[in-house]
Amino acid sequence: MEDKILLDERRFLNKNGYHSTASIAITITKEEDQRSPFVHSSGIYAEFTFTDCVRGITLDIDANSEKDLDNSIFKLRQIAESCQKAVAVLEEQRGFIKEHDKKVKEKEE
């Protein structure tokens, strides 16, 4: 069996100055079993690992057929779309957070 790494990416998720070890690690491999085209061990295998301090989650996405691949792509697009919506909602709350920060600062003075 021959494995080929298609993507191996690691990123820290926090801006500089934050001490938490929030990160994302993505590994996508293509595995080809040369013994037979009918062996199910051939395919594309993706592992997404998200960590934030001591919490973590791993999402495995496999594709052993074109139908599986279509579903995997759909799944990732759904995740990306939901993340974009979450970013938009958080960006809309900037005024609320600025006002909160102002009130906290006033109480401290």
pLDDT in tens, 29-53: 998 876 666 656 689 999 999 999 8
Helix, strand, coil % over all residues of the chain, rounded to 5: 40, 35, 25
pTM score: 0.80
Q: What is the per-residue pLDDT for 61?
A: 94
Residue 69 and residue 6: Cα distance in Å, rounded?
A: 15
Residue 76 and residue 24: Cα distance in Å, rounded?
A: 15
Q: Write down the H helix ranges in the chain.
A: 66-92, 94-108
pLDDT-based confidence at 56, cuts 50/70/90?
A: very high
Q: Where are the domains of the chain?
A: 1-64, 66-109
